[in-house]
Structure 1
Amino acid sequence: MQNKKVTFIDWGLIDYQEAWDKQEEVFNKTLSVKHENRVNDTSLPTENFLIFNEHPHVYTLGKSGKPEHLLLDEQALKEKEATYYKINRGGDITYHGPGQIVGYPILDLDNFFTDIHLYLRTLEEAVILTLQDYGIEAGRYPGYTGVWLDADNDKARKICAMGVRASRWVTMHGFAFNVNTDLSYFNHIVPCGIDDKDVASMEKELGYKLDIEEVKNKLKTHIADLFGMELV
Structure 2
Amino acid sequence: METINLLSEGLIGYHAGWERQRARVAARIAEEVPDGIILLEHAPVVTYGKTGKPEFRLLSESEYAARGIELVPTNRGGDVTYHGPGQLTGYPIVHLGEGKRDLHRYVWTLEEAIIRTAADFGVAAGRVEFHAGVWTESGGYLAAIGVRVQRWVTHHGFGLNVDERVHQGFETIVACGQTGRQVVSLSKLAKTTLTLEEVAHSSARHLGVLLKPD
TM over 0.5: yes
1:74 aligns with 2:61: yes
Query: In the alignment, what sits opposite 2:150?
Result: 167
User: Which 4+ runs in 1 deviate beyond 6 A?
Assistant: none
C-alpha contact 2:61 2:71 (8 A) present in aligned 1? no
Contact 1:98 1:181 in 2 (8 A): no
> For 1:110 and 1:181, how far apart are their aligned partners in 2?
38
Match of 2:71, SS?
Answer: strand
Structure 2 counterpart SS, 1:59:
strand
Task: Return the index of the structure with the highest Cα Rg.
Answer: 1
* Residue 113 in structure 1 maps to residue 100 in structure 2: yes
Shift of 1:45: 7.0
Structure 2 gaps of 5+ residues are: none
Q: Structure 2: which amino acid aligns with 1:11?
A: L
Q: CA deviation at 1:228?
A: 1.9
Q: How does 1:54-65 map to 2 (within 5 A)?
A: 54-65=41-52
User: Which residue of the partner structure matches residue 12 of structure 2?
Assistant: 14
CA deviation after TM superposition for structure 1 residue 214, in Å: 1.3
TM-score of the aligned structures, taking structure 2 as reference length: 0.91
- Does the aligned pair in 2 maintain the 1:69–1:93 contact within 8 Å? yes
TM-score (norm 1): 0.84
Alpha-carbon offset, residue 119 of structure 1: 0.8
How much has 1:112 moved relative to structure 2? 7.8
Contact 1:60–1:93 (8 Å) recurs in 2: yes
Letter of the 2:68 partner, please give it: E
Deviations along 1:29-60, whole A, 9 cap, x unmatched? Answer: 434x3xxxxxxxxxx67632211001011100
Equivalent residue, structure 2, for 1:30? 28
Q: 67, 73, 93: which is aligned to 1:86? A: 73
Per-residue deviation at 1:227? 1.7
Aligned length: 210
Q: Does 1:215 align with 2:199?
A: yes
Q: Can you give the 5+ residue segments of structure 1 that lack an aligned partner in the other structure? A: 1-5, 34-43
